[in-house]
Amino acid sequence: MSSSQQLLSAINELSTNPEQVAAVRETGHCVVLAGPGSGKTKTLTTAMARALSDDIIEPRGVACITYNNECAIELETRLARLGIESGDRAFIGTVHGFALSQVIAPYARCVPIGLPAEFQVATRAQTRAAVEAAYATAIGGSDDPHRRWNFASEKRRRDVDRSRPDWLGRNPELAVFIEAYENELRRQGLIDFDDMPLLAYRMIKEHDWIRDALHARFPVLFVDEYQDLGHALHELVLLLCFGGGIRLFAVGDSDQSIYGFTGANPELLDSLTQRCDVRTIRLRFNYRSGGKIVRASLGALGEERDYREAEGAPEGELTFWPVTLGLDVQAQAIADTVIPDLEKRGFALDEIAVLYRAAYLGDKIAEALKRAGTPFVRSDGNALVRRSSRLSRFIEDCARWVVGGWKSADPRYSRLLQQALKIVYGAQVRPDEEQLLSDQLIGFLQATINSSDTTHTWLQLFDSELIAHWRTIARNAEQEWEVCAEMIRNTDPVADLDIPLAHLAGRLEGTGRVNLSTLHSAKGREFDAVVMYGVNASDFPSQRDRQSTVALREARRLFYVGVTRPRRELAMVYQEHHHSPWVKELFDRSQK
């Protein structure tokens, strides 16, 4: 099927939803407010494909900025089904990736921003050392410089435009600390991740020709998960789209804004909807969850929304599991009772997720599942694989190829090569570079086909034969090369952590595994059944949540994110007579 036929088919699939069709066909500034399960990714990717087909003449293209690499990978996969490959006429990546590859790398040599031609991204050790040096220079004293830097980082992310009075007028001592820190990095030819969008903003603001160059290449800017992306992205949008001629298509949901600790602010998305030059479209239908879960979710949110289940959707089910004692007993009850009950009623293990607030709770669940003999995979801070890392996803895909995927082209080798090129080079790649990388990759993969190596041994080979060389030639400064070393440590056979390679690849027969995830890591995902663990009065909301209205509201949105992940069943596990007050609201709404 040709790409035009694929696009027409995709648009036809949306024909029963007038809001989705309107969004896809919009040719002005547009904000799509997309609730849980409302088909926002399908709407976004179809809109991108239609714009490339109908509105934009080659070689111009579109840029799409999203929250993290995991979101970018999902968008790339969806667009590939519509015949669009990332890097062809479409940039897809994080705001840091956009700033680095589309602004700083091509134009930093042309403008005075204090960076050498061969600048590098600072390591964690280098940033910590710079904080300590800057603290000694700018503030002094015996306080912990890193504790003070937490406040400085918040100001740095929020006060993007330093020409405004707030920069020196609000917490001036932090402004001095920040500038000393940045000067220390520049002295060493370094930038950090927060530098990327900040430097890009200043370059575009101070040099109209850079903005014009971006407009010439990307007449349309798509933004996914707008509510999560913070002040730097918002200021870039205002500069590029409402001062630089680029058309904006933004998708988001303020009700799912749960990253306040990284600078996210749902009010930034709301401010776009109040502009007279922006069309706002709300997607009302939830295609994920049954009606009872949709109604209950509004109880979890504590506010009214015009959301409804799709026609013909099953009703869905809520179950409540009071447990006599605390978190350890609740974890064992999930392993011994809740999950077996779901299995008995036909739920596959790999379509069951246990969600919780912090990784230490994942440790408790993991131990309980081990005792019960139930296989699981984790997506939290203690997981084998970082879900948000392109490199870790690529390593998993390579493992899947060598343990049998090469036979069925799952994944295709061409897809693996494109992943490798993006990881190593980022954007522009010369033909000779592509050929060299391909020779190295296929040589390694063929040499390890049907290998009897465990994951630990195979990862060591991957690191020595591919990563060690790639990191010396890489032009993609955003890449986290330490991910492979982390995976090697996380499979240490001495600590009894090693697993079969087919386990990493997900290709062992009967290896359906329960998903363990923090609520933050579960955002954007869906499962047939979700078990929310530790929904106790002291945990939802916690004492820390109660310290401010802003924190309490974000905790409630986090609860809402968990409640809206299941398709068919939501199970709440909590201490008897000590449940979260939000559980009762959820129960009451589900009965209406």
Task: Confirm whether 55 is domain-assigned.
Answer: yes
Q: Do 409 and 488 belong together in one domain? A: yes
Task: Confirm whether 146 is domain-assigned.
Answer: yes
Six-digit token string for 323:
């447990």
Q: Do 521 and 568 belong together in one domain? A: yes
Task: Confirm whether 499 is domain-assigned.
Answer: no
pLDDT band at 168 (very low <50, low <70, confident <90, very high): very high
Q: How many CA atoms lie within 13 A of 6 on its CB side?
A: 17
45-59, 219-233, 377-391: least confident range: 377-391
The pLDDT of residue 86: 66
Q: Do 474 and 441 belong together in one domain? A: yes
Residue type, 309: E
Among 234, 253, 282, which residue terminates a domain? 282
How far apart CA 577 and CA 590 sit, in angstroms, is 20
Task: Confirm whether 324 is domain-assigned.
Answer: yes
pLDDT at 87 over 80: no
Q: 34 a known binding residue?
A: yes
pLDDT band at 101 (very low <50, low <70, confident <90, very high): confident
Q: Range of 392's domain? A: 388-492
Q: Do 179 and 210 belong together in one domain? A: no
pLDDT at 132 over 90: yes
* E strand residue ranges, 243-356: 247-252, 279-283, 285-286, 308-309, 317-323, 352-356
Q: Tokens 């700033």 belong to which residue?
A: 99
pLDDT at 507 over 80: no
Task: Confirm whether 523 is domain-assigned.
Answer: yes
pTM for the predicted model, two decimal places: 0.85
How far apart CA 290 and CA 36 sit, in angstroms, is 12
Q: Which residue has the higher pLDDT, 50 or 378?
A: 50
Tally the residues of the chain.
592
Coil, strand or helix: which one is 194?
Answer: coil
Count of beta carbons in the 10 Å neighbourhood of residue 325: 12
pLDDT band at 14 (very low <50, low <70, confident <90, very high): confident
Q: Which of 573, 500, 495, 486 is nearest to 535 (CA)?
A: 573
Six-digit token string for 490:
């996380």
Q: Do 155 and 299 belong together in one domain? A: no
Q: For strand 120-121 and strand 279-283, is the pairing parallel, antiparallel, or unpaired?
A: unpaired
pLDDT at 464 over 90: yes
- Phi, psi of 198, deg, nearest 5: -65, -45
Q: Tokens 């003070």 belong to which residue?
A: 148
Among 248, 282, 316, which residue terminates a domain? 282
The pLDDT of residue 592: 65
Task: Confirm whether 5 is domain-assigned.
Answer: yes
How far apart CA 269 and CA 266 sit, in angstroms, is 6
DSSP letters, 508-533, are STT---EEEEEHHHHTT--EEEEEEE
Q: Are 568 and 317 in contact (CB under 8 A)?
A: yes
Q: Which of 344, 329, 458 is nearest to 401 (CA)?
A: 458
Number of domains the chain contains: 4
Q: Do 514 and 448 belong together in one domain? A: no
The pLDDT of residue 427: 64
| pLDDT, tens digit, 9 for 90 and up, residues 534-559 | 999 999 999 999 999 999 999 999 99
Q: 37 a known binding residue?
A: yes
Task: Confirm whether 114 is domain-assigned.
Answer: no
The pLDDT of residue 444: 95
The pLDDT of residue 509: 42
Beta bridge partners of 172: none
Q: Do 175 and 214 belong together in one domain? A: no
Q: Do 94 and 231 belong together in one domain? A: yes
Q: Do 216 and 360 belong together in one domain? A: no
Q: 35 a known binding residue?
A: yes
Q: 38 a known binding residue?
A: yes
Q: What is the mean pLDDT of residues 392-406?
A: 89
Q: Do 264 and 371 belong together in one domain? A: no
- Phi, psi of 579, deg, nearest 5: -85, 160
Task: Confirm whether 75 is domain-assigned.
Answer: yes
Q: 373 a known binding residue?
A: no
Q: 36 a known binding residue?
A: yes
Among 187, 221, 244, which residue terminates a domain? 187
Phi/psi class of residue 141: alpha, beta or left (left: φ > 0; alpha: ψ in -120 to 50)?
left
Q: Do 35 and 78 belong together in one domain? A: yes
Beta bridge partners of 571: 319, 531
CATH code for the domain in which residue 510 is found: 3.40.50.300
Q: Do 456 and 521 belong together in one domain? A: no
| pLDDT, tens digit, 9 for 90 and up, residues 273-317 | 999 999 999 998 888 888 888 888 887 777 778 787 777 777 889
Beta bridge partners of 279: 30
Q: Which residue has the higher pLDDT, 511 or 405?
A: 405
| CA trace torsion 461, 464, 465, 470 (10° rounding) | 140
